[in-house]
Chains A and B, each alone.
Chain A
Amino acid sequence: MMEKLTDLYSDAYSRFKKATFFLVGAIVIGVIVFAYLANVQIDGGTDKIYHTLDVLFYVFCGLLVVAAAAVGFFLYVHGKRKKVWLSRFQKSKLNSRIKTFDVVLAIVIGIFCILCIYPIIYVLAGSFNQGADYSIGGVWLLPRVFTFENYAVVLKDADFWRSYGITIARTVVGTVTALIFTAIVAYAMSRPNLKFRRVFYWINIFTMFFSGGLVPYFLIIKSIGLYDTFWVYIIPSLYSVYNMIVLQNGFRSISADIHDAALIDGAGEFRIWWQIYMPLSKPVLATVVLWVAVGHWNSYFDTMIYTNREELQSLQYFLLKAIQTSSMTEGMPPEMMERLSPQTLSLAAIVLSIIPVFCFFPLIRKNFASGIMVGSLKG
Chain B
Amino acid sequence: MTEEILAGTESESQVLGKTEEKPERKKRKPWTANDWVLVGMASLSVIFLAVFAYAPLYGLTLAFKDGDGWLNISQAISVADWNGFDNFVAFFEDPDFWNIILNTLGLNILQLLINFPLPILFAVFTAELLSDRYKKFVQTVTFFPHFISWAVYGGIFLSLFALDTGLPALLQQWGLTEHKVDILGDPDYFWWIIIGTSLLKGMGWGSVIYVAAIAAIPQELYEAAKMDGANRFHKIVYITIPSIAPTITLFFILSVSGLLNNGIEHLLVFQNTSNIERSEVLDTYIYKYGIPDFRYSYATAIGLIKSVVSLFLLVSGNWVCKKISGKGIY
Residues in A lying within 8 Å of B, measured CB to CB = 94, 97-98, 101-102, 105-106, 109-110, 112-113, 115-117, 119-120, 122-123, 126, 134-140, 181, 184-185, 187-189, 191, 193-200, 203-205, 207, 209-220, 222-224, 236, 238-239, 241, 244, 263, 268-270, 273, 294, 297-301, 304-305, 316-317, 319-320, 323-324, 343, 346-347, 350, 353-354, 357, 361, 364-365, 368-369, 372-373, 376-378
Contacts and interface: CB of A to CB of B under 8 A. Distances in A.
Given A213-B300, A219-B59, A373-B213, A116 B155 contact: no
B162 to A, nearest CB: 7
Nearest to B53: A207
Contacts of A238: 48
A196 B268 CA distance: 43
Nearest to B33: A268
Contacts of B1: none
A222 B52 CA distance: 12
B156 A123 contact: yes
A376 B33 CA distance: 32
B159 A305 contact: no
A220 B52 contact: yes
A209 B314 contact: yes
Given A119-B157, A223-B74, 16 more contacts: A94-B131, A106-B130, A106-B131, A119-B160, A122-B156, A134-B165, A189-B45, A194-B35, A214-B290, A219-B59, A220-B56, A238-B48, A244-B45, A343-B159, A347-B159, A372-B208
Contacts, number: 294
A133 B170 CA distance: 14
Given A270-B41, A298-B149, A301-B265, A217 B56 contact: yes
B223 interface: no
B15 interface: yes
Contacts of A273: 41
B311 A209 contact: yes
A299 B58 CA distance: 27
A213 B156 contact: no
A314 to B, nearest CB: 9
Given A116-B204, A181-B44, A320 B269 contact: yes
A195 B39 contact: yes
Contact of B159 (A187, A198, A323): A323
Given A369-B208, A376-B250, A220 B55 contact: yes
A222 B76 CA distance: 12
B265 A122 contact: no
Contact of B52 (A217, A304, A364): A217
A97 B134 CA distance: 16
Contact of A200 (B46, B141, B164): B46
B221 interface: no
Contact of A185 (B44, B59, B73): B44
A227 to B, nearest CB: 9
Contacts of A320: 151, 154-155, 269
Given A117-B141, A204-B49, A319-B152, A215 B134 contact: no
Contacts of A188: 38-42
Contacts of A317: 151
Contacts of B9: 195
A219 B144 contact: no
A200 B45 contact: yes
A273 B38 CA distance: 10
B173 interface: yes
A177 to B, nearest CB: 12
16 contacts: A112-B142, A113-B142, A116-B142, A184-B44, A189-B45, A211-B53, A215-B73, A218-B291, A219-B56, A222-B74, A244-B45, A268-B33, A299-B149, A323-B158, A353-B152, A364-B143
A216 B57 contact: yes
Contact of B155 (A135, A222, A346, A361): A346
B38 A212 contact: no
Contacts of A346: 155, 159
B236 to A, nearest CB: 11
Contacts of B37: 268-270
Contact of B303 (A112, A185, A216, A361): A216
A269 B34 contact: yes
Interface stretch (B89-97, B99-107, B108-116, B121-129): B121-129
